[in-house]
Amino acid sequence: MVDGIPKYVSVRDHLRGSIKRMKDGAQLPTESELCARYKVSRITVRHAIEDLIREGLIVRSQGKGTFKLKSPASSREVINGRIRGFWRQQHDLGRTVKTRVLGNRIVTNADIATKLGLEADADLIELERLRYVNGNLQQYVCTYLPDAQFPEILEHDFSHGSLYDFIEGRYDVRLARNEVVVRIENVDSRIAGYFHVDRARPVLAMDSTVFDGFGSVVAFGVALQPPAYSEIEFVINSVPDSR
């Protein structure tokens, strides 16, 4: 561990940058070569590689090696064991991510406040955004957070960068769990206008409840996907038996 950061994280992040510069389908160095390059153990390299496989950057072929995956023309969001957020996930895949902030305001909403574990009349931050990937509108998202806990969010420009990165960096909050519900929702006329579809068109919706390391709810968000990008990938990994 260096400066409190596990070795595999440093290897993973450096390797991710190298992979972005590689051509699609290019083969990564062997585990032995990576061990020598980063001066770490094989288990550290394997841990880093497994994270990058889960991120959808690379694929391992038995008996052949590990290769960079071709970036799909149609971006998809991947739900796995790590909370990285939409912006960070797409950025790490080498895609250009732009955000149009529709609103960053104080609201009251009894139903949302209950989901956040707050009193019904608590002040909430409502951060409403359109997310574009490689120039294409891929997501409408509205995120709610407690104003009393994260007041600086109101002053920050979220046209660039990640909300989750901001929360973790500014408030030293560790995001530990994300509960996701996928459903179908009929869009209203305003969202239909953004998506260029008819009003009441059914689209894919995701409700996301994010918890910190102490089990408290940090944020609740609703994301709607345009019909052309209604594809979510879930990566489920088994937890080793501790017995």
Q: Locate the domains of the chain by residue range.
A: 7-68, 77-234
- Determine the pLDDT at residue 61: 83
**Which helix (H) or strand (E) is 86 found in, with range?**
helix 85-92
- Name 21's bridge partners: none
Contact 139, 229 (CB under 8 A): yes
What lies within 8 Å, CB to CB, of 72 at 6+ separation is: none
How far is the C-alpha of 153 from the C-alpha of 240, rounded, in Å?
38
How far is the C-alpha of 35 from the C-alpha of 108, rounded, in Å?
53
State what percent of residues in the chain have pLDDT above 90: 59
**Into which CATH architecture does domain 7-68 fall?**
Orthogonal Bundle (1.10)
Q: Which of 153, 177, 155, 154 is nearest to 165 (CA)?
A: 153
96-140: per-residue pLDDT in tens?
889 999 999 999 999 999 999 999 999 999 999 999 988 889 999
Name the pTM for this structure: 0.68
- Determine the pLDDT at residue 74: 47
Collapse the DSSP code of 94 into the 3-class scheme (helix H, G, I; strand E, B; otherwise coil) and give the result: coil
Backbone φ, ψ for residue 71 (5° rounding): -70, 125
- Determine the pLDDT at residue 153: 97
Contact 182, 222 (CB under 8 A): no
What lies within 8 Å, CB to CB, of 50 at 6+ separation is: none
Instruction: Give the CATH class of 77-234.
Output: alpha beta
How far is the C-alpha of 84 from the C-alpha of 77, rounded, in Å?
11
pLDDT along the chain (243 residues), means of 10: 74 90 91 95 93 80 84 55 72 84 98 97 98 90 98 95 92 92 94 90 94 95 88 63 50
Handedness of CA 188, 194, 198, 204 (dihedral sign): negative
Does 77-234 match 7-68 at the fold level? Answer: no
How far is the C-alpha of 212 from the C-alpha of 58, rounded, in Å?
29
